[in-house]
Amino acid sequence: MDQARENLERLIQERGVNYSSVSRLLGRNAAYIQQYIKRNSPRHLDEKDRLVLARFFGVDEKVLGAPARRSGPVVELVQVPILDVDASAGHGALAEMEAKSSQFGFEEKWLRRLTASKASSLSIIHVLGDSMEPTLHDGDEVLVDLGDGQSRLRDGIYVLRMDDALSVKRIAIEPSGRRISVTSDNPTYPSWNGLDRRNVNIVGRVLWFGRQL
């Protein structure tokens, strides 16, 4: 007799019940539990039956033969700081990016699909204003790659330092390759064309955004 059967028989004896009453508890024929214990039929208790018996006897299901629960793989999350600063999609927020308030964890493989930069080069900041509507909304959180800046500049959304303020804008490389356009997705806000790319202070490229529903 295996351990699960021995345990069940002991529990039945300790409780002062019999095979047939326990069988009826499960909604089975009167000989079900006796056949399980004495004749090994069925070979294993049905999962639902095992749960009912475990609750009835006040024991862990493993005592009655439940398999050990498999634990999922341990996922190491890359912690990215959420900075206590707003990057304006409007008039600009003061460009103080030192204060860190909390962190957000990203699965490493997922993060590597976005960027090869180290975690130390990544930060999350809040969007303030509506100049990047409908792409970015007021209150969105954006993941910024601080290591992806002037040297790799290409079309995309960036955080810029403008007049000692942070702004989120869309950058487009003009055909000559030497000048860029800095635009707002909201057409009610101004755009700047023909800018010397060397004179635009790039903080980092926006890789991802999160939004409360």
Q: How confident is the model at residue 159 (pLDDT cuts 50, 70, 90)?
A: very high
pLDDT at 94: 39
Which pLDDT does position 90 carry in this prediction? 52
Q: Give, in order, the Cα–Cα distances in Å from 3 to each of 37, 66, 92, 139.
A: 10, 11, 70, 59
Confidence category of residue 91, pLDDT binned at 50, 70, 90: very low
pLDDT of residue 2: 86
Percent of the chain beyond pLDDT 90? 34
Sorted by where each starts, the structural domains of the chain and their CATH numbers stand as: 3-64 (1.10.260.40), 77-210 (2.10.109.10)
Q: How confident is the model at residue 181 (pLDDT cuts 50, 70, 90)?
A: very high
Question: How far, in Å, CA of 93 to CA of 203, rounded?
Answer: 13
Per-residue pLDDT band for 99 (boundaries 50, 70, 90) equals: very low
Q: Distance between CA atoms of 107 and 105, rounded to whole angstroms?
A: 7
| pLDDT for residue 24 | 87
pTM of the entire predicted model: 0.61
Could you report the per-residue pLDDT of 70-83, keeping only the tens digit for each? Answer: 555 656 678 888 88
The confidence band for 115, taking pLDDT boundaries of 50, 70 and 90, is very high
Q: What is the mean pLDDT of the chain?
A: 85
pLDDT digits over 6-53, tens only?
Answer: 999 999 998 888 999 899 888 889 899 999 999 998 888 888 899 999
Residue with more model confidence, 72 or 205: 205
Q: Is the pLDDT of residue 155 over 90?
A: yes
Per-residue pLDDT tens digits for 138-148: 989 999 999 89
Kindly state the tokens that stand for 16: 């002062």
